[in-house]
Amino acid sequence: FIRSLFTFEAFDLAKTYDRVLYLDSDMLVMKDISELFSLSARIAVTPDAGVYNIQIPYDTFNGGFLVIDKSTAQSDYRNKLLDTALKMGDLRLADQSVMNAYFKNSVDYLDSRYNCLKRCFPDEKFSSFDDKIKIIHFVGAKPWHKEKISNERRYSRLESIWKEYYTLCSVKI
C-alpha cells in the first residue's frame, strides 16, 4: 500500500467533472489559475524541474500537478496506472514514477509557473521569479514543520509566504 498512488483516483473524477485539477496537499495557489479550466489538453502537467527556468523543456513531469479533461474518462487510466505500478516494482517516487512511465510523450506540458518547486528557489534566486509564480509546491521539508534540516533554511523566503497565508487563514472568529 502506497498512499501516493491515491493520486490515480483523480483520473476517475474525470467521469463526473468536465475538468479535474489535482494539486498535492503541500501546494499554495498564489494567483488566478482559472485559465487551467479552459485548456484543450487531455492531460496537462508541469516539468519536474531540477533547475528552475520556465523556458527550458523537460521530459519528465512532477506528479503533484495534473489537469485532466473529461475526454480521458473512458480510458480507465486509474486501473492502467495501478497495473503499471505493479509491473514496475521500483517506486521511488511512486505515483510520479508510474505516471511518467505510462504517459511518456503523451501529455501536454505547461510551464513551471503553475508548479514552482520550492527546492528550485533558494532565497538568492527567488526575487527574479516572484511575480511569475502561480503555484508554489513545498517539496522536501514543509514550512509547517518546526525542525529544519540545515540546507532547507535556504528557502526561507518561500516559507515566509506560506506562513503569511497561514496567518491570514487562521484568523479566529
Q: What average pLDDT does range 73-95 have in this prediction?
A: 81
Cell of 113: 509557473
Residue 95 pLDDT > 90, yes or no?
no
**Model pTM score:** 0.84
Residues 6+ apart with CB under 8 A from 155: 118, 119, 121, 122, 123
140-172 confidence digits (pLDDT tens): 888 888 776 666 777 788 888 888 888 888 766
Q: What is the pLDDT of residue 19?
A: 96
**Which band of pLDDT confidence, cut at 50, 70 and 90, is reported for residue 2?**
low
Query: What is the spatial distance between Cα 63 and Cα 93, in angstroms, rounded to a whole number?
Result: 9
* Longest pairwise C-alpha distance within the chain: 51
pLDDT of residue 50: 53
Return mean pLDDT, the chain.
Answer: 83
Give me the pLDDT at residue 157, please. 81
Hey, how many other C-beta atoms are within 10 angstroms of the C-beta on 136? 23
Cell (9 digits) for 103: 504517459
Alpha carbon distance 13, 76 (integer Å):
11
Neighbours of 13 (CB within 10 A): 16
Give 22's strand partners: 66
Mean pLDDT, range 84-110, rounded to an integer:
83
Least confident of 14-18, 20-24, 73-77: 73-77
Q: Round to whole Å and give the CA distance between 78 and 147.
A: 36
Which has the higher per-residue pLDDT, 103 or 118?
A: 103
